Amino acid sequence: MPVCQMSNKKRFKGCKSAFILVHTLAMLSRQRIPKHRVTLFVANESERKSYREALAGSEWENVRIELSVKGNKESRNFIMRFFPAGTYVVSIDDDVERISWKIREGMTPCTLRTLPPGSLEKIIYDAYRQMKQHKAYLWGVSTSQNARHMKVYGLSKRNGLVNGYLNGYISRPKCKGLFRTLTDATEDSEFAVRHYAKDGVVLRYRMYAGITSPYLNRGGLQKKFEASGERITAEQRSEARKKEERWGAMELHKMFPQLIGPPKRRRDKKTMEVNFYSHGYPPGEGGKRKRFAPRLMDADQIRYRLENPKLWGCHAYKLYEGYKRSKTLREAVRLGARPIDLAHDYNWGFLTVLAQVIGWA
């Protein structure tokens, strides 16, 4: 379908090019992603034919197109089953215009720039390395396109939303607990919390954001909320979508009460109402969770993970840089390791005890 019929943005007024050609495929071309690595999934044979006609004569005319199923949730589940176990899948919706990158501190749009050509593939490879290092199976980008809520550095490992329009995961088709079961409107929230419940970690790059307008564009999930032959306003579509989203958010709270709270109403209808507990437990329970320091002697041999796992720039990060090459407990303490650091590093696996000295009274 021509982009002028699916988008209300002024720059697309009168544009007859296919929607996907001026959005995701154009972005992938600018990022120099090899065509043979891309697979388009469509709902039915009629849609596949339409895509072939729309792509004819373009650089994407020979791209691989596979038949999936109808519906956002079911289509994503189909893709999970489609690829063999262990396959690294990067999922991108058809309406992603570009990827934004926060390059300096600040809260205004001037702190953002479009990701340079050829950079996306580097992020994809880095994300795979990060997943292996942190034993994660899902990564995404910032959930906000607003510079105020983005960081110039950092990789979040907390419980939270991983947007469905741009993410990557290692496929585990035999793991039934990862498949979406609720609604289309909350499928990405469900996918994220299911991964966190299983793995204890999901990754999000804080400095990158996918630029898309899911509440404004027609088609896809928005089309679901229009009756056959009906044309409704973006406001009406948003209301219908929000109603389904609130139901899904409550169901997620019932399924994962330790990870997701009751739906939280937002002023902006475009903000998801699924209420993630970012620390992995409900508010007020933090004091009940204690770190247990290992009972070690000064001469005990230890080893730290050399890659600093602390938040860049914080005091704990600077201390870790000082003591991370310590070989014994005595040396670690001399170089700045505090009791709380020893407890935290040991409990999270950053500190390994290699050999203990046995003493007698």
Look at residue 51 and tell me if it is in a domain: no
84 and 152 in a common domain: yes
| Percent of the chain at pLDDT exceeding 90 | 62
Look at residue 16 and tell me if it is in a domain: no
Q: For position 45, what pLDDT does the model report?
A: 94
For 213-244, how does the pLDDT look when each residue is reduced to its tens digit (9 = 90+)?
A: 765 555 554 455 454 445 555 566 667 778 88
Range of the domain at 308: 301-355
Q: Is there a contact between 147 and 108 (Cβ–Cβ < 8 Å)?
A: yes
> In the chain, how many domains are there?
2
Question: Helix crossing, 187-199 with 234-255: angle to 10°?
Answer: 20
Q: Is there a contact between 63 and 97 (Cβ–Cβ < 8 Å)?
A: no
Mean pLDDT of 301-326: 90
For 129-144, how does the pLDDT look when each residue is reduced to its tens digit (9 = 90+)?
A: 999 999 999 999 999 9
Look at residue 132 and tell me if it is in a domain: yes
Side-chain half-sphere CA neighbours of 146 within 13 A: 6
Q: How confident is the model at residue 282 (pLDDT cuts 50, 70, 90)?
A: confident
Mean pLDDT of 349-361: 75
Q: Average model confidence (pLDDT) for the chain?
A: 86
Q: What is the DSSP string of 268-310?
A: STTS---EE-TTSS-TT-GGG---------TT-EEEE-SS--S
Which residues are CB-neighbours of 263 under 8 A, at least 6 positions away?
Answer: 246, 249, 250, 253, 273, 274, 275
Q: How confident is the model at residue 98 (pLDDT cuts 50, 70, 90)?
A: very high
Look at residue 3 and tell me if it is in a domain: no
Mean pLDDT of 337-346: 90
351 and 255 in a common domain: no
255 and 163 in a common domain: yes
pLDDT at residue 2 above 70? no
247 and 103 in a common domain: yes
Q: Look up the CATH number of the domain holding residue 102.
A: 3.90.550
Q: Which residue(s) pair with 99 in the sheet?
A: 210
315 and 250 in a common domain: no
Mean pLDDT of 34-42: 95
